[in-house]
Structure 1
Amino acid sequence: MANSSSSSSSCYLQVDVNGEEVFFVNKEILLSFSGKLRNLFGKSSGKGNNLKVIFHDLPGGAKGFELMAKFCYNNGKTVISPSNVVVLHCVAFFMEMNKDVSGAQNLIEKTEVSLKEIGYWSWSELIEALKQCQNSVVGRLVSASDESASTASPDSSGFRFSCDTKSTESFKNCYARTNWWFDDLVVLNPEWIERVVKSMIFLKFDHGVISRFLLYYQKTRFTGVTLEVKGKIMETVIDLLSSLDHSSVPYKSLFGILRVTLGLNISKSCRNKLESMIGSQLDQATMDNLLVPSPPGVNFLYDVNLVIRFLKSFLLGGTSWVSSTRLKKVAKIIDLYIAEVAPDPCLKPSKFVALIMALPDSARDCYDDIYQSMDMYLEVHVGLSEEEKTMICSALNYEKLSLEACKHLAQNSKFPATTAVQLLSTQQSKLKSLLQETSDPIYSSELSCTYSEKSYKDKDIGHIVHYAKNLDLSTENEKLKENLQGMQWRVMELEKVCRKMQNQMAKIINSKASTTPSTPRSLPRMCS
């Protein structure tokens, strides 16, 4: 037997084994033992010097072919042991070695005699044989999933043959279904499923198919077994799913697994893996997905701690790797969730605030939904102290509240008195910023900033003044009331200044428009 292309004898046959290795063997020797090769060359009329056969899914791969070839070259004599009997037996069936020309005992008979002695094998020999079985099974599955196949085609020097086990139409149809082997392997215990699937992953088997098999395995094996066995099955499935490409695992199925594990005693590390898989793709979740009941011993209606952990997994590594679109999508889902849990009388203020602040401020363009949830929370939790109310309101971004929300908040007696101060302070800062923009003209080559654009900002200023005038000043704290009134007076003064500036700017714009020469030229523009 040769393994290089240097051989050019007409009796030599080139054999490509599963794309792993190419062998050059004596054709006549192998034909005397292999019914598959005899049938193949019996149908062929090729007389060329170079003959090539391609095997797509030969059991045991290159190693299996080499063991078989040695048996043929030694005229049917070879050492058969627990370390090679499984591979030899599979190869013998593949190559149809149930007859031979010389009349010697064929390879199938020899391996069957050896397998009958399995009861006398040592423990280590049994384990080694099982490993061979596992490798043969995985190798067959991987090769069956390979869509590439070579076809027989004549060339100038001889013939090229493509041979595999998919010889019958029924077997082709069987292989065409990617899940044809699910029911065959589902009988294996979790330990062997783990070994087989890890081998599949190593051999780059399709992750989507593996994912479907694991979900099928979990569902099928749960029937009629104890909680302890269910826990072991679930741990195995979760561990293996976590080693796959997360995009190959149906996201909805992860929540199904999560709900099943609520009644099982699985390890903390296993739960962490499942939560990490869910959290990393949180933008695919729905609000209903997140409404998971709290574990036993916790008074909350829903498991808020779980959702907070999901958010931490989503943000793992910082917000720099999470796109703005994904971040805002998660914020919308979480805001719906916050509105759902806010009426829970058992939800502590610290957990409520932690849920709101788990996402960065940049995730929300508007805080109106958060304000409404806070309003509901304070309505249900009437016994909170001023300190607790202040802590809750610290999660609110006043600058991202709409006009209607600001009006409502300014007169909302459920919120602490300091909230009105914070709201007014924020709006006063906003007013000052607008006034600074109004007083700083910006020049460019075109006159495109008109009085109507400035009036739009004046409208904003008017709204801010309106907030201040309508603030609820009913409070027992006289000093606070005086401060509010003082701030309100300053806003009114700023309003007068603003109106004066508006009149001046209108005159400037009208004056420049009336003195514009007929010859076009670059004009400065004023921007409010």
Structure 2
Amino acid sequence: MWESESDGRGGGRDLEPDKHDGLKTDGFERRDQSWFVSSDIPSDLLVKVGGVSFHLHKYPLLSRSGRMNRIIYESSRESEPSLVELDDLPGGPEAFELAAKFCYGIAVDLTASNISGLRCAAEYLEMTEDLEEGNLIFKTEAFLSYVVLSSWRDSIVVLKSCESLSPWAENLQIVRRCSESIAWKACANPRGIRWAYTGRPARASSPRWNGDSKESSPSRSQPVPPDWWFEDVSILRIDHFVRVVTAIKVKGMRFELIGAAIMHYASKWLPGLTKEGAQGGEEPWSHQGGLHLIVAGSGSKDDLSSGQIREQRMVIESLISIIPPQKDCVTCSFLLRLLRLANMLKVAPALVTELEKRVGMQLEQATLPDLLIPSFHKSETLYDVDLVQRLLEHFLVQEQTESSSPGREPYPDKHSYEANQRASGPNAKTRVARLLDSYLTEVSRDRNLSLTKFQVLAEALPESTRTCDDGLYRAVDSYLKAHPTLTEHERKRLCRVMDCQKLSIDACMHAAQNERLPLRVVVQVLFSEQVKISNAIASSSLKEAVESHYQPVISARRQLLEGTPQSFQEGWAAAKKDINTLKFELESMKAKYLELQNDMDNLQRQFEKMSSTKPSKQSSSPWSTGWKKLSKLTKMTSEANEIGAPMPGTAATEATKKGPRRWRNSIS
């Protein structure tokens, strides 16, 4: 006989079987750790369950329990009264008390809190329909099917109570049915539900599933957020939470909601995983029998017992295994903090590798604090540099896979690709390059970081990912500060990781005065800056020539010189002064050369006049022949220097006028 009683909290049922005419009782009364039946007939059966004694009668239990029937029959031959010990009974003394009351015909209040234990106890005691119609198994099963599974709150409570009933609750399919019921309700359309859930100011503590109710219309009810079920599901133990999430996946819920539920669960069971928990800004969540461990911030691995370490390791491994495969279902910051705990607690290597691949898929979303993962199992470096190296490798593999994917729509030409890149902002590789430069600057302060590891990590990304090497320069300079004992060869090797031509003016200004850098690197920096200034001046001059008819422009040369470091301006002025000095010396030497040539022409003319007064045959002598050859050579030289001279007598004058102008043109 069923009697319903609504309590506004999921409901309860009074279970009152037919009483036996042969035994009348007014109920049970407890004295210390013993229960006694209020009856005129003395008890002839003593049952001990978990340290609690029950003074009962044989007949009520024999008529409804198959197991008690066998046990009492076997023990009755030995002693009187019979003693039965049931230490392995699921549900403990509480469940046996309810079962015993049911056998005596006393009304039993079935609730979501006791139904799972009573159902397992009924199965243990073999209270089947073969002994009596309407036995305890049938009635508890009916309550589970028609009352519990139709209520959101009751399903959560029953699944929570199954934690202490393994493996009975699993074998009786209580866990499976409750998990599917929770998954169905979590995926249901909230428009047909009058919601009442944890974390919301509601009069009732459980939703009522009656879509025909007028109160369930969206216009009359407060809108339900998509994460309404997170808080309720997060109270479950990790294995039951996995069952619920798996069932929700089968129902087809959006993967970003599943990922958000996983992150919410991790923030509850692993308070040290959240930034707020690590800083002490948020109160840790606790519940009876659950994990209340802070593994980061104020706590450490040394503060945990072996049992707590195993529990947390199981939580982390289970969460990794149920994260949806889609990208961005959880944040990269969450994955990195989970990876930090996984390394500290020595999670299975296969799951750690899977987690590293997930981080590599969205490494461009990471931040520097989350990337600074301590080296828990190594004493060489403060931070786990090898882990970051592996994350970069996974990122590059993922980028290469996405770029070569056949489903990726190619760009028709280079211009459209560049326009798309400009529209979408810096790409993933550029963001990862900036993150890596910041990471290198931070870890370079570690004196135990070897030059090889620094160099390998700095060269992990292609050169095309960096448009500016200022970040690398800061990392190199920081490494030089922390490692003052490097040799000259090691300093040159370290500076090879950066490109001097990609440094900004400020970085070049700092590098020109940096005594820690090798001299060769400083020269390369100055030379590359000089080349950039010259190219900028040339391009600015060309731009002024083209746009002079449209708008006035400010001289780019003056801007560059004003933005150039003082040392570069002084060097440029000294170079110009040297060039002018060389020009003056060349002009002076050219003038002296022309004077000597003029004097030689005058001597030649005088010699010809003297020789013309004598016969030509007598004047032919080795001396005169040599002068003639010298004169011809001089004239050939003068003609080579002065193209198109009209007369020999005016050669010196024309050379004097044209020679300096041609030298100025050649020098300029």
The structure 2 residue matched to 1:211, chosen from 256, 259, 270, is: 259
1:141 alignment partner, SS class: helix
The structure 1 residue matched to 2:353, chosen from 267, 272, 279, is: 272
Question: Could you tell me which residue of structure 2 aligns to residue 405 of structure 1?
Answer: 507
1:226 alignment partner, SS class: helix
Higher relative contact order (CA 8 A, sep 6+): 1
Q: Does 1:194 align with 2:242?
A: yes
Matches of residues 462-481 of structure 1 in structure 2 within 5 Å?
A: 466=568, 469=571
Out of 435-444 and 272-281, give the one that drifted further.
435-444
Q: Does 1:346 align with 2:448?
A: yes
Matches of residues 148-159 of structure 1 in structure 2 within 5 Å?
A: 148-149=191-192
Q: Which amino acid aligns with 2:183?
A: V
Q: Does 1:135 align with 2:180?
A: yes
Question: Where does structure 1 lack aligned partners over 5 or more consecutive residues?
Answer: 1-84, 97-122, 152-162, 471-487, 498-528
The structure 2 residue matched to 1:335, chosen from 423, 433, 437, is: 437
Matches of residues 205-354 of structure 1 in structure 2 within 5 Å?
A: 205-218=253-266, 219-220=268-269, 221-223=290-292, 225-241=307-323, 243=324, 245-318=326-399, 324-327=425-428, 328-354=430-456
Summarize the Cα distance change of 1:468–1:313 in structure 2 as closer, same or farther, 3 Å threshold.
farther
Deviation at 1:237, TM superposition (A): 0.5
- Aligned 8 A contact 1:94 1:165 in 2: no
Summarize the Cα distance change of 1:264–1:142 in structure 2 as closer, same or farther, 3 Å threshold.
same
Give the whole-Å Cα distance in 2 for the aligned partners of 1:297 and 1:442: 61
Question: Could you tell me which residue of structure 1 aligns to residue 495 of structure 2?
Answer: 393
Summarize the Cα distance change of 1:136–1:183 in structure 2 as closer, same or farther, 3 Å threshold.
closer
Question: Could you tell me which residue of structure 2 aligns to residue 453 of structure 1?
Answer: 555
Summarize the Cα distance change of 1:269–1:343 in structure 2 as closer, same or farther, 3 Å threshold.
same
1:447 alignment partner, SS class: coil
- Aligned 8 A contact 1:194 1:240 in 2: yes
- Aligned 8 A contact 1:279 1:314 in 2: yes
Q: Which amino acid aligns with 1:338?
A: L
Summarize the Cα distance change of 1:396–1:494 in structure 2 as closer, same or farther, 3 Å threshold.
farther
Out of 377-386 and 130-139, give the one that drifted further.
130-139
Give the whole-Å Cα distance in 1 for the aligned partners of 2:182 and 2:332: 29
Out of 338-347 and 163-172, give the one that drifted further.
163-172
Summarize the Cα distance change of 1:193–1:346 in structure 2 as closer, same or farther, 3 Å threshold.
same
Q: Does 1:380 align with 2:477?
A: no
Question: Could you tell me which residue of structure 2 aligns to residue 71 of structure 1?
Answer: none
* Deviation sequence 1:460-518 (CA, Å, 0-9, x none): 89879927939xxxxxxxxxxxxxxxxx9799759999xxxxxxxxxxxxxxxxxxxxx
- Aligned 8 A contact 1:431 1:461 in 2: no
RMSD: 5.0
* Deviation sequence 1:87-140 (CA, Å, 0-9, x none): 9987756999xxxxxxxxxxxxxxxxxxxxxxxxxx9x9487865554344223
Matches of residues 16-27 of structure 1 in structure 2 within 5 Å?
A: none
Summarize the Cα distance change of 1:181–1:348 in structure 2 as closer, same or farther, 3 Å threshold.
closer
Question: Could you tell me which residue of structure 2 aligns to residue 72 of structure 1?
Answer: none
Give the whole-Å Cα distance in 2 for the aligned partners of 1:174 and 1:180: 15
Give the whole-Å Cα distance in 1 for the aligned partners of 2:505 and 2:582: 22
Summarize the Cα distance change of 1:183–1:435 in structure 2 as closer, same or farther, 3 Å threshold.
closer
Deviation at 1:167, TM superposition (A): 7.4
Deviation at 1:365, TM superposition (A): 4.6
Summarize the Cα distance change of 1:436–1:89 in structure 2 as closer, same or farther, 3 Å threshold.
same
Give the whole-Å Cα distance in 1 for the aligned partners of 2:504 and 2:582: 24
Give the whole-Å Cα distance in 1 for the aligned partners of 2:216 and 2:554: 78
Give the whole-Å Cα distance in 1 for the aligned partners of 2:389 and 2:468: 21
- Aligned 8 A contact 1:335 1:370 in 2: yes
- Aligned 8 A contact 1:424 1:468 in 2: no
- Aligned 8 A contact 2:149 2:178 in 1: no
1:222 alignment partner, SS class: coil
Summarize the Cα distance change of 1:261–1:445 in structure 2 as closer, same or farther, 3 Å threshold.
closer
Out of 243-252 and 415-424, give the one that drifted further.
243-252
Q: Does 1:147 align with 2:195?
A: no
- Aligned 8 A contact 2:505 2:564 in 1: no
Give the whole-Å Cα distance in 2 for the aligned partners of 1:495 and 1:367: 39
Summarize the Cα distance change of 1:94–1:341 in structure 2 as closer, same or farther, 3 Å threshold.
closer
Q: Which amino acid aligns with 1:344?
A: D
Question: Where does structure 2 lack aligned partners over 5 or more consecutive residues?
Answer: 1-138, 151-167, 195-207, 270-289, 294-306, 404-420, 584-668
Greater CA radius of gyration, 1 or 2?
2
Deviation at 1:390, TM superposition (A): 1.7
Q: Does 1:368 align with 2:475?
A: no
Summarize the Cα distance change of 1:171–1:269 in structure 2 as closer, same or farther, 3 Å threshold.
farther
Q: Which amino acid aligns with 2:500?
A: Y
* Deviation sequence 1:57-103 (CA, Å, 0-9, x none): xxxxxxxxxxxxxxxxxxxxxxxxxxxx999987756999xxxxxxx
Summarize the Cα distance change of 1:315–1:87 in structure 2 as closer, same or farther, 3 Å threshold.
farther
Summarize the Cα distance change of 1:176–1:431 in structure 2 as closer, same or farther, 3 Å threshold.
closer
* Deviation sequence 1:134-174 (CA, Å, 0-9, x none): 4344223322xx134499xxxxxxxxxxx954678999999
Matches of residues 141-180 of structure 1 in structure 2 within 5 Å?
A: 141-143=186-188, 146-149=189-192, 164-165=209-210, 178-180=227-229
2:426 alignment partner, SS class: helix
1:262 alignment partner, SS class: helix
Deviation at 1:447, TM superposition (A): 1.9
1:201 alignment partner, SS class: helix
- Aligned 8 A contact 1:231 1:264 in 2: yes
Summarize the Cα distance change of 1:86–1:333 in structure 2 as closer, same or farther, 3 Å threshold.
farther
Give the whole-Å Cα distance in 2 for the aligned partners of 1:404 and 1:185: 52
Summarize the Cα distance change of 1:337–1:184 in structure 2 as closer, same or farther, 3 Å threshold.
closer
Q: Which amino acid aligns with 1:222?
A: L
- Aligned 8 A contact 2:233 2:241 in 1: no
Give the whole-Å Cα distance in 2 for the aligned partners of 1:490 and 1:353: 40
- Aligned 8 A contact 2:508 2:529 in 1: no
Deviation at 1:345, TM superposition (A): 0.8
Q: Does 1:356 align with 2:458?
A: yes
- Aligned 8 A contact 2:361 2:398 in 1: no
- Aligned 8 A contact 2:533 2:560 in 1: no
1:260 alignment partner, SS class: helix
Summarize the Cα distance change of 1:128–1:200 in structure 2 as closer, same or farther, 3 Å threshold.
same
**Percent same amino acid among aligned pairs?**
24
Summarize the Cα distance change of 1:90–1:496 in structure 2 as closer, same or farther, 3 Å threshold.
farther
Summarize the Cα distance change of 1:359–1:169 in structure 2 as closer, same or farther, 3 Å threshold.
farther
Out of 287-296 and 488-497, give the one that drifted further.
488-497
